[in-house]
Amino acid sequence: MNSPDTRKSDMTSETAAPATAVRAVPATAVRRRGRNAVRGKEVLGAWTLMVPYLVLLLVAGIVPIAYALWISFQQSPTLLEPNKTGFGGLQAYVQVVSDFRFARSFGDIFAVLLVWLPIMILAIVGLALLVHASPGRFGRIMRFIYYIPGALGGVANLMLWVYLLNPSQSPISGFLSGMGFDTIKQVIATRGDLPVILAAMLLLQGLGQWVVTVNGGLNSLPDDVLEAASLDGANAWQLAWRIKLPMIRQWIGYAALLNLAYGFQLFLEPYLLNQVASGSLPAEYSPTQLGYWFAFVGNNFPAAAAMSVIIVIITLAIGLVVVFRSGLFSVEEN
């Protein structure tokens, strides 16, 4: 290893995390390289060991993106010529972007993000700090309870919400009927409700695992700093606000960006809520749903591919910021 063995990304220690967990540990001296033959064997061995992964990366990552890119530049079929093929330039992109649902679907997502993301980040940070301020069994139990809904996963979580939002048997039916709702269709399809419902669903589902993650970041803060602050007379509030919060800034940024990327690809929730509301929601609420529509209803693969390429580019941009700017990952050669 020629460069310092950065252990920044390993913010994992369950036990009292020593300061070294976040600080770079200098490796021992530069190791002397053996003969070229040894080096060659190492390179060959490395690539051999990576073959299964690289095959899967190609098959399930790179080839589909390249193929979608290629298809997105093909001509779209029309009613008169359903089998029309050939190079179509930016035709599919123009068609997608000028579709009346395109801008609206991004607007819908922004509405959800606007309601959800600030609450989500506040809740993640607040609960993570509270869990971190609760040593021992109580904190662990709370952290576990917050985690359960996320562990249930997609469709199970949706069913939980169907149960919650159906006034006929909901445990909050008093609240729902107080709002004037008699059927689940009314609850979901009333204008303006959907962003709030989606925000609540995403919050309940995602909060727990992010509390655990950010709590992990808190656990890796050097003990001596926290101890010094409390010896200086900082109370729990000051400790959280002045010391811990600034130190987990990069974790908060990481959570915000990944949740932003997650919001852009929203599919399952609006798709299934539409079924529950017997089709009274737009079937192309989110951009991913619109891409799905192009592929499965419109049978317009170039447009579906173009839509996917657009969503991939957006999430890729967010991903690049996370990887290179969040400071959580070290991608330097080591």
Partner 1 sequence: MSATGARVRAGGRPSGAVRRWDAGRIARVTFMTLVALVFLYPMVGFFVVALRSDASVADGTGGFLGIGGISPAGIAHSWHEIISYGGSDTPHVYLTWIGNTIFVAVTGAVLALIAALPSGYALARLRFPGKRYVLIVTLLAMVMPNTVLVIPLFLEVNAINAVGTLWPVAVIMGFFPFGVYLSYIHFRTAMPFELVEAARIDGLGEIRIFFQIALPISKQAVALVAFFSFVANWTNFFLPLALLTSSFSEQTISVGIQSLISSSPLFNPTTAAGLNVKLYMPELALATAISTVPMLIVFIVAQRFLIRGQTLGAVKG
Q: Which of 91, 186, 238, 315 binds partner 1 (CB under 8 A)?
A: 315
Name residue 74's beta-bridge partners. Answer: 87
Pick out residues in 159-218 that bind partner 1 (CB under 8 A).
159-160, 162-164, 166, 168-169, 171, 184-185, 204, 206, 208-210, 212-213, 215-218
What are the helix (H) ranges across the chain? 36-49, 51-57, 63-72, 91-98, 100-132, 137-152, 154-165, 173-178, 184-189, 193-219, 223-231, 236-238, 245-247, 249-264, 268-276, 287-296, 301-325
For 70-74, which contacts have Cβ atoms below 8 Å and span 24 or more sequence positions? 71/301, 71/302, 71/305, 72/302, 72/305, 72/306, 72/308, 72/309, 73/302, 74/301, 74/302
| Region from 81-89, 104-112, 190-198, 315-323 binding partner 1, contact rule CB under 8 A | 315-323
Q: Which of 272, 282, 283, 298 binds partner 1 (CB under 8 A)?
A: 272
Pick out residues in 79-98 that bind partner 1 (CB under 8 A).
none
Pick out residues in 4-63 that bind partner 1 (CB under 8 A).
5, 7, 9-17, 27, 31, 38-39, 41-50, 52-57, 59-61, 63
**Do 291 and 160 meet the contact criterion of CB atoms below 8 Å apart?**
no
Q: How far is the CB of 81 from partner 1 (least distance, A)?
A: 20
Name the 3-class secondary structure at 304: helix
Q: How far is the CB of 244 from partner 1 (least distance, A)?
A: 11
122 binding partner 1? (CB under 8 A): no
Sign of torsion, CA 171 156 111 92?
negative
Exposed, middle or buried: residue 148 (CB in 10 Å: 0-12, 13-18, 19+)? exposed
Looking up tokens 């910021």 gives 321
221 binding partner 1? (CB under 8 A): yes
Query: Among residues 190 and 315, whose Cβ is nearest to partner 1?
Result: 315
Please report, as a single letter, which amino acid is at residue 294: F
Pick out residues in 242-271 that bind partner 1 (CB under 8 A).
251, 254, 257-259, 261-262, 264-265, 267-268
Q: How far is the CB of 98 from partner 1 (least distance, A)?
A: 19
235 binding partner 1? (CB under 8 A): yes
Q: How far is the CB of 223 from partner 1 (least distance, A)?
A: 5
